[in-house]
Structure 1
């Protein structure tokens, strides 16, 4: 069983709109994970997804900018594909019919805990690997 690591509060995720942290996966690679508010009545009030669009290796949450969430959907800044924050599913754009990769978390007494056996918590925030992550030129029909 994974070591349970407190990440942040549900309140902070809902106030900030998203919350980023970095983990090491079972292969030794660093991965960024994004916590997003979930607005459905069922399930957890927060969900965790690998911070990467399923269409291209594009970050959904960017340091200093955060994530764009509209009407309960996480928006890819490059092509405008929109992922449901609660299910991770995308039904439009370049990433249609794909689902974001989930990371296991638990919510207890207003706190969010990392509980995924396949990853190890490294730090809050970005992995610091921004060398190939220039601000994308949007080819989307969605304007920010």
Structure 2
């Protein structure tokens, strides 16, 4: 069990984004959201179009309305508790669940197939060298 964050850090109307590593070494993003039964965790992509992230890593995370996670591209709405979508392009599909547990206000990753990597989005290497230069052009 790996600690991710606290319940208080999960926005009431948004999501908390973190990155996990799958057994094959591939990184995936996961979102935590408030649901009727507490906190739920879902892989951060729309089932209709897997390249479309629900939480783009800015602001309070994924757009939500009436306990539903909204795909920013198609407007499909996924139930925060079940992950099921009954409208739009993703109708009939369910988000990929990630197993978590909440204990004394802390949220833990309990999914045996995933390893907690870090809070925030996947860190992409842009191929550019890091620079600490103060020279401007």
Structure 2 length normalisation: TM-score? 0.85
CA RMSD for the aligned pairs? 1.6
Query: Is 1:22 aligned to 2:19, yes or no?
Result: yes
Structure of larger gyration radius: 2
Distance 2:122 2:53 in 1: 12
Q: Structure 1's 125 and 70: CA in aligned 2 closer, same or farther, altered over 3 A?
A: same
Q: How many residues of Structure 1 are paired with residues of Structure 2 in the alignment?
A: 124
Q: 1:10 deviation in Å? A: 1.0
Correspondence for 2:122: 127
- CA shift digits 1:37-78 (9 cap, x unpaired): 11x2xx3x1000000000002000011231100010000000
**For structure 1, which segment, 59-68 or 92-101, has the greater mean C-alpha deviation from structure 2 after superposition?**
59-68
Deviations 1:4-59 (A, max 9, x none): 11111112114473100000112211000000011x2xx3x100000000000200
| TM-score, normalised via structure 1 length | 0.81
| Distance in 1 separating the partners of 2:87 and 2:124 | 29
Runs of 4+ residues over 4 Å off in structure 1: none
**1:59 lines up with 2:56 in the alignment:** no
